Amino acid sequence: MKHNYSIEKEIHEIKCDESIISFIGVVVSIDPSTYMLIVDDGTGAIGVSADKLYDMEQVLRVIGIPYKEGGQIIVDSEVIQDFSDFNLELFKKIQKIEKEVYT
**pLDDT by 10s per residue, the chain, length 103:** 455 788 899 999 999 888 899 999 999 999 999 999 999 999 999 999 999 999 999 999 999 999 999 889 999 999 999 999 999 889 889 988 988 998 7
Range of the domain at 22: 7-102
Domain count, the chain: 1
CB burial of residue 38 (10 Å; 0-12, 13-18, 19+)? middle
Tell me, yes or no, whether 2 lies in a domain. Answer: no
Tell me, yes or no, whether 1 lies in a domain. Answer: no
Beta strands in 1-103 (DSSP E): 7-8, 21-31, 36-40, 45-49, 59-69, 72-82
Q: Which contacts qualify for 29-38: CB closer than 8 Å, 24 or more apart?
A: 29/56, 30/54, 30/56, 36/74
pLDDT at 103: 77
Residues 3 and 11: their CA atoms lie apart, in Å, by: 21
> CATH no. for residue 29?
2.40.50.140
pTM for the structure as a whole: 0.87
pLDDT at 1: 46
